[in-house]
Amino acid sequence: MGEGLLEAFRRVGDALTAPGAPFELLDYDEPPRRHFAGTLPNVCAIGARARARFGPNPFVELEGRVLTFEQIFAGADRLAAWLASEHGVRKGDRLGLAMRNLPEWFIAYFAAARLGAIATLLNSRGAPEELCLTARQVGCSLVFADEQRARAMRGQLDCPVLAVEEIDRIASDESIAPLSADHPEPEADDPLIIIFTSGTTGRPKGATLTHRNICSVARDMELRAEMGLIQAAEQMGMDVEALRVVAPPPAPTLLISPMFHISGIVGMLLSLHVGSVNILMRRWDPVKALDLIDERGVVGLSGPSLVFSDLLALPDAPRRMRSLRSCAVAGQATPSRLAEELRESEAAIGVTSCWGQTECTGAATTGSGAIFGAYPGTVGPVAQLVDIKVIDPQGNEMLPGEVGELLVRGPTVMRGYWDDEKATAEALRESWLHTGDLGYVDVQGLVYIADRAKDMVITGGQNIYCAEVERVLSMLHEQQEVALFGVPDDRLGERAIAAVTLRPDAGVAFDEAMVKSHVRAHLADYKVPVEVRFDLGPFPRNDLGKINKAQLAQRYSQLAPANAS
């Protein structure tokens, strides 16, 4: 059965990407990097097409407030014109976005794209210190912010901070003429967004993604949608065009992922293709989310494992989630127990598996629910657009089934890290992105993840780079040595545990609450350790004198089994 599914998947994909087919694979430079026929040149073109197709349809919705495709893009045009005339914004300028998932985020994002500016996606969950640090790091000439972050950032930056109310006023002011239609559009390889990933050195790194990166992902999503339609038609014994005619209108998308995360950007691309509305939430609320899924008939949902664990824990959840047909656990591996619960629910949910990272514009592999069910543990086959190879520490390519570091090459790989030549040179070598993830590719071309080479904890779909938190912990006078590590958690994926050994003069008043308060003052709330332990020293070390965090986590589990949840 499994072989038949994989063969059917590849047969349909090969037919759609063959010479002369709608998604023909074409090389665009050396070494060969592929793109699909029909890939649009920039995000402005994607927006213009969606506006023409779906103008009066709802595009974003938040607590009863609805903005159509036309309203979003007309507002973006006015805002772009105002930014150009009032602030002289031009191609290549960095414009910060520091806000929750609000309708104004989309207006600001498309206005920046229209001008050829670079939308700098600041982590709205970060502390004010982090927000200002990253805005200065890339030299933002202006920052868009919601009211809370606008108050925190004004006076701390040398550039203007435009709050949500001002964005609304400009976007709805019909006296402002939209940006001229002949205003030059960005080139495919021009930067579009900067997304920050805290590097293993503790310094935030700005992964710079281009219009080509995003447009390649958008076209790949269109291919997958067409593949799904063809396979559904074959299973029902229908002509694909007949099925296309009777297919229901696109169901709403519950957009949970924050828009400063690549998952949020990719989620938005789907609605631009099919014309669905993005239902936004101010904050994660499982009760409210389940109500929306049930009442609005949400079909697909993407988020970290805690999203699905929280939903399934609610009364009557399997029945009320019956509209769901696809669930993608983003940001971390899908816990096997969770996958089983989802598949066994009344909704007959398909659990989609995928693997990737910000630096390759999201997923480099994707496995449909059927493939994931037939091949447990896989993160899917290699996508048509990218090449993947596995190497050992000496750079030698590994054979199928052998574990090594996964490398990715293709049009979805980032341009580099903003203003960080050293980090870029380490990550990108001879066109290959060194992901830092360990895994293997089997003889059938399916990818499996074995471990993460990078020192980080993934909690609730958010990356916590240990070096960043350890840098803040090391600022404490009372500490002698610190380490951050993760332990498994069914809901969050992992919990971040801080191990601290104290100086002899630390004093008895120094406690867990003081450590957490110190971290919270410098970093985002989700980076604050769930637990601080003072009884795990002296720390175990390897032959090179480095802290052995695997042994440290094992020691934690042995000393405190009651803490596991």
- Whether residue 339 is contained in a domain is answered as no
Asked, for residue 201, whether it belongs to a domain, the answer is yes
Q: Could you say which of 211, 239, 258 is where a domain stops?
A: 211
Model pLDDT for residues 231-287, shown as the tens digit of each residue: 889 989 999 999 998 888 888 989 988 999 998 999 999 999 999 999 999 888 999
Instruction: Spell 140-169 as b/e; 16+ CB within 10 A means b.
Output: bbbbbbbeebbebbeeebebebbbbebbbe
pTM (2 d.p.):
0.85
Phi then psi for residue 299, to 5 deg, are: -100, -40
Residue 479 lies in a domain: yes
pLDDT at residue number 22: 96
- Strands 531-533, 493-502: pairing is parallel
Q: How many CB atoms neighbour CB 186 within 10 A?
A: 23
Q: Domain boundary at 149, 177, 211, which?
A: 211
CB 253 within 8 Å of CB 279: yes
Residue 442 in any domain: the answer is: no
Q: What pLDDT, on a 0 to 100 scale, did the predictor assign at position 368? A: 72
User: In the prediction, which pLDDT does 462 show?
Assistant: 83
Residue 461 lies in a domain: yes
CB 93 within 8 A of CB 57: no
236 Cβ contact partners less than 8 Å away, ≥ 6 residues apart: 243
Residue-level pLDDT at 202: 55
Q: What is the DSSP string of 101-120?
A: S-HHHHHHHHHHHHHT-EEE
Predicted confidence at residue 504, as pLDDT, reads: 82
Give the C-alpha separation, 116 to 44, whole Å. 9
In a domain, 76, yes or no: yes
145 Cα distance to chain centroid: 20
Strands 456-459 and 462-465: antiparallel
**What's the structural domain count of the chain?**
2
Cβ neighbours for 537, distance < 8 A, ≥ 6 positions apart: 480, 481, 499, 501
In terms of residues, how long is the chain? Answer: 565
Residues of the chain with pLDDT under 70: 1-3, 198-203, 330-339, 344-351, 369, 451-453, 542-545, 560-565
pLDDT of residue 287: 96
As a whole number of angstroms, the distance between CA 10 and CA 304 comes to 28
- In this structure, what CATH number is given to the domain that contains residue 135? 3.40.50.980
Which single residue is written with the structure tokens 């990097």? 33
- Rounded Cα distance between 123 and 99, Å, is 8
Domain that holds residue 116: 69-211
Question: Is 42 part of any domain?
Answer: no
Distance CA 49, CA 55 (A): 10
Q: Which two tokens stand for residue 397?
A: 């390519």
Asked, for residue 253, whether it belongs to a domain, the answer is no
* pLDDT number for residue 308: 84
| CATH value at residue 516 | 3.30.300.30
Provide the pLDDT for residue 545: 61
Confidence (pLDDT) at 2: 47
Q: Which residue has the tokens 């350890």?
A: 470
- Distance separating alpha carbons of residues 71 and 105, to the nearest angstrom: 13
Last residue of a domain, one of 211, 226, 255: 211
Render pLDDT for 60-83 as a digit per residue (tens, 0 to 9). Answer: 999 999 999 999 999 999 999 999
